[in-house]
Amino acid sequence: MRKIVVKTQRSPRSVIGVDLGGSRIRLAFVGPMGRRTGRVLTVPVTDRALTSVLALLIDSIRRLQGSGPRPSAVGIGIPGFIHRKKVCILRSPNFPGWRNVPIRDLLEPRLNLPVLIENDANAAAFGEAWIGSGRGARSLLYLGLGTGVGGGVVLDGRVWHGREGLAGEIGHITIDPKGPVCGCGNHGCLESYASATAVVRSYAEKAGRPVTGLTARDVALLARGRNQKASAVYRELGRALGIAIADLLNIFDPERIVIGGGVAQAWPLFHSAMMDEIGRRAIRPVRLGERIKRGKLKDEAGMIGAAGLAYHRLGVKDF
Amino acid sequence: MRKIVVKTQRSPRSVIGVDLGGSRIRLAFVGPMGRRTGRVLTVPVTDRALTSVLALLIDSIRRLQGSGPRPSAVGIGIPGFIHRKKVCILRSPNFPGWRNVPIRDLLEPRLNLPVLIENDANAAAFGEAWIGSGRGARSLLYLGLGTGVGGGVVLDGRVWHGREGLAGEIGHITIDPKGPVCGCGNHGCLESYASATAVVRSYAEKAGRPVTGLTARDVALLARGRNQKASAVYRELGRALGIAIADLLNIFDPERIVIGGGVAQAWPLFHSAMMDEIGRRAIRPVRLGERIKRGKLKDEAGMIGAAGLAYHRLGVKDF
């Protein structure tokens, strides 16, 4: 990726990056070099109805504005399928009632600011490519291991959207056609092995009992305490991830593959199983250490990436 | 892909396209609009040693030259891994003794013509994108089902090579981690289901006996005659191909996916199983009929594509 230089006349100096999730909104000012300026404002989402979320978004952005300079734009990372031309949210797993929501056009007049919307995993991919673990890479594939598994593709500093705007659904490539049922209805998608949901389900299966209230983080703590079943869960996750990454290397031979999201915090628990499987399945596994990286921006990748995309929209051409 | 317009001063009007295989060399003159002019010269390869193949290549090109105008360049599609910077063949499954062969530099002085070399599946992908089933598509993924399964990626009219020049090894994405052994040593690669070799092996397994001398084409003939075992072989091939194509759609959402190579001749025997599996596994299976196509250039795709790439090298910039 070429160096990013802000070249606009007005030289935007501040943009608000927003990470809209199903349970909370997180937002912060982000400078033109990708550095967050000031604190992250976190607002819980209690009502997922469209009007409530819109009101909460506007209110949160105004609250944050009160604390800093007037921003030049707002960039928002949103879970779900976004129609590229109509700039609307087709549907979102986190907001089940939303259908064809023209969220940009709903927000811009009320905020009186340009608004950029992007799928949250694409935004995170862009963030990592911009100033994270993918900095300097011409091509980057991103995997975000969270409640589900999201993904993003960045080529030459731009998010690759594909024909229908659906590129990057890496969570739904097949690992084993007879594998566990996935949220999408299929069997054996990467998401059914490598999401937080999958970690908990797999641990419950191995423990042979329901594990109400347990999180993927709890399973990681158990694995760190040398619990055999919990350790096996993360090794299996590593193998599934390794198969997916070998696929990506074989198809695309990218410069960088970045693994982010909450589950990536358990990196030491799955890294070696993942690398073994990649070594076995990539057609020519060279320079893997420098090409396969853990996300650097952690849970701020989407927020920072969305801000970066807003800078881009403001006329930062030299990406 | 934008329209291709020849803009060089000298306006190259003829290029020789060569398809170098393990058992034969095929070559022909190709015009600047991708049309083959004159017949295809086919020369059997009896000795695969480097010096013999080089001599045969030079002799064949000279023989073809005798029959037509002086070409402006030669484009050669070659099976194997090609080092982008050194422009040499690292290794080739079809020519086992070859290691780090600087084939361009060996041929150019003796032919006194610019020579362009490219992996054969990449060349075929480019050919289909140029004037075949991928014409007009901004992004194309190609699968060549032959003795093995090759692949190629074309973005904005250019072959995508990736970090190490290994992009497009789509034959080695995993369909089932516990699947049949592949030529690469792994289990369950696409190639172990969808190559001519796999068709014969799978039929022999179902028949419960060795089937010496039988080809994938013979198995297709049996399937057309309603042989149950042969039909099942092609249905399984369709399902494996469907899983791979759903992966490609989910990761990359390309405009076009083109399936070529000899095994693609059996299209009616696997098409419906393939489409069913794609419908099941693609995250949003839209416009599949116009996006997933059988190769149009058949066994000339590599030869024509190699010629197209040679035009490109001659200065055809507006791809």
Question: pLDDT of A257-269, one tens digit each?
Answer: 999 999 999 999 9
- The SS3 call for residue B91 is strand
Q: Does A290 contact B at CB distance below 8 Å?
A: no
Q: Is the separation of the CB atoms in A253 and B162 below 8 Å?
A: yes
Q: DSSP 3-state assignment of A223?
A: helix
Is the domain B137-295 a CATH 3.30.420.10 member? no
Closest chain A residue to the Cα of B143, Cα to Cα: A251
Q: Which residue of A has its CA nearest to B184?
A: A283
Spatial neighbors of A291 by CB under 8 A, at least 6 apart, are A254, A255, A256, A257, B163
Give the residue from chain B lying closest to A122, CA to CA: B251
* pLDDT over 90 percentage in chain A: 87
The residues in B 92-131 lying below 8 A from A, measured between CB atoms, are none
In this complex, do A250 and B284 lie within 8 Å of one another by their Cβ atoms? Answer: no
Task: Using CA coordinates, name the residue in chain A closest to B281.
Answer: A186
Task: Report the amino acid identity of residue A80.
Answer: G
Q: Is the pLDDT of residue A6 over 70?
A: no
**Same CATH fold, B137-295 and B15-124+300-313?**
yes
Spell out the domain ranges in chain A. 15-124+300-313, 136-296
A246 CB within 8 Å of a chain B CB: yes
| pLDDT tens digit at each of 319 positions of chain B | 444 444 444 678 899 999 999 999 999 999 999 999 999 999 999 999 999 999 999 999 999 998 778 999 999 999 999 988 888 999 998 899 999 999 999 999 999 999 999 999 999 999 999 999 999 999 999 999 999 999 999 999 999 999 988 899 999 999 999 999 998 999 999 999 999 999 999 999 999 998 999 999 999 999 999 999 999 999 999 999 999 999 999 999 999 999 999 999 999 999 999 999 999 999 988 899 999 999 999 999 999 999 999 999 887 644 3
Which of A281, A287, A288, A290 is the mutation pick for testing B, counting most B CBs within 10 A? A281
The CATH-assigned architecture of domain A136-296 is 2-Layer Sandwich (3.30)
Mutation target among B122, B173, B176, B255 for the A interface, most CBs of A within 10 A: B173
Q: How far is A251 from chain B (nearest CA, A)?
A: 5
Is A250 within 8 Å of B173 when comparing Cβ atoms?
yes
H/E element holding A56?
Answer: helix A50-66
Which pLDDT score is estimated for A10? 59
Question: B168–A283: do the CB atoms touch at under 8 Å?
Answer: no
CB A21 within 8 A of CB A150: no
pLDDT in the model for residue A84:
85
- Determine the average pLDDT of the residues in A103-128: 97
Instruction: Give the span between the Cα atoms of A25 and A18, in whole angstroms.
Output: 7
Local confidence band at A316 (pLDDT 50, 70, 90 cut-offs):
low
Residues A184, B188: Cα–Cα separation, whole Å: 23
Rounded percentage of chain A residues whose pLDDT exceeds 70: 96
- Please give, rounded to a whole number of angstroms, the shortest distance from the CA of A253 to a CA of chain B: 5
The whole-angstrom separation of Cα B247 and Cα B263 is 21
Tokens for A48? Answer: 């997922």
A158 beta partners: A155
User: Is the CATH code 3.60.21.10 the one for domain A15-124+300-313?
Assistant: no
pLDDT tens digits, one per residue of A7-20: 444 578 899 999 99
Task: Note the ipTM here.
Answer: 0.93
* Spatial separation of the C-alpha atoms in residues B72 and B155, rounded to whole Å: 26
Of A141, A281, A284, the CB nearest to B174: A281
d(CA B257, CA B238): 15
The verdict on a CB contact (< 8 Å) between A251 and B151 is: yes
Instruction: Tell me the count of A-B CB pairs closer than 8 A.
Output: 127
- What is the mean predicted confidence (pLDDT) over A90-100? 92
Interface subset of B 186-205, CB within 8 angstroms of A: 186
Instruction: Say which of A178, A246, A286 has its CB closest to residue B174.
Output: A246
Identify the closest residue of chain B to A186 by CA–CA distance.
B281
Q: Are B162 and A139 an interchain contact pair (Cβ–Cβ within 8 Å)?
A: yes
Look at B169 and A81 and tell me if their CB atoms are within 8 Å.
no
Amino acid B6: pLDDT: 42
What is the distance in angstroms between the Cα of B196 and the nearest Cα belonging to chain A?
Answer: 20
Given pLDDT bands bounded at 50, 70 and 90, which one contains residue A317?
very low
Cα B7 from Cα A309, distance rounded (Å): 36
**pLDDT confidence tier of residue A313, bands split at 50, 70 and 90:** confident
DSSP state of A182: P
Sequential DSSP letters for B258-277: EEESGGGGGHHHHHHHHHHH
SS3 A284: coil
CB contact under 8 A, A243 and B160: no
Residues near A225 by Cβ (< 8 Å), separated by ≥ 6? none
d(CA A287, CA B10): 42
Question: Cα dist. A101→A61, A80, A82, A90, A121 in Å?
Answer: 19, 11, 9, 7, 19
Which residues of chain B are within 8 Å of residue A136 when distances are taken between CB atoms?
Answer: none
**Taking CB atoms and an 8 Å limit, are B173 and A284 in contact across chains?**
no
Consecutive H or E run containing B252: helix B228-252
Give the 3-state secondary structure of residue B81.
strand
Distance from CA of B52 to the nearest CA of A (A): 29
- Alpha-carbon distances, residue A88 vs A27, A80, A166, A252, B23 (angstroms): 21, 10, 13, 29, 54
For all residues of chain A together, what is the average pLDDT? 93
Say if B209 is an interface residue toward chain A (CB within 8 Å): no
Which residues from chain B sit within 8 angstroms of residue A153, using beta carbons?
251-252
Ramachandran bin of A275, using left for φ above 0, alpha for ψ from -120 to 50, beta for the remaining angles: alpha
**Bridge-based pairing state of the strands A115-119 and A139-145:** unpaired
Sign for the pseudo-dihedral over CA of A63, A67, A71, A75: negative
Cβ–Cβ below 8 Å for A177 and B174: no
CB-based contact, B87 to chain A, within 8 Å: no
pLDDT tens per residue, range A17-54: 999 999 999 999 999 999 999 999 999 999 999 999 99
Does the beta-carbon distance from B172 to A281 stay under 8 Å? yes
User: Quick one: residue A213, left, alpha or beta (phi over 0 = left, psi -120 to 50 = alpha)?
Assistant: left
Pairing of strands B158-159, B256-260: unpaired
Specify the pLDDT at position A67: 76
φ and ψ of A32, to 5 deg: -65, -15
Q: Do A163 and B253 touch (CB under 8 A)?
A: yes
Contact A70, A61 (CB under 8 A): no
Closest Cα in chain B to A251: B168
Beta bridge partners of A77: A19, A118
- Local structure of residue B303 (DSSP, 8 states): H
DSSP per-residue string spanning B95-153: STT--SB-HHHHHHHHHTS-EEEEEHHHHHHHHHHHHSTTTT-SEEEEEEESSSEEEEE
Q: State residue B319's pLDDT score.
A: 39
Q: How far is residue B251's CA from residue B248's CA, in Å, rounded to a whole number?
A: 5
Q: Is A265 exposed, middle or buried (0-12, 13-18, 19+ CB in 10 A)?
A: middle
Sheet bearing A115-119, strands edge to edge: A36-44, A24-30, A15-20, A73-78, A115-119
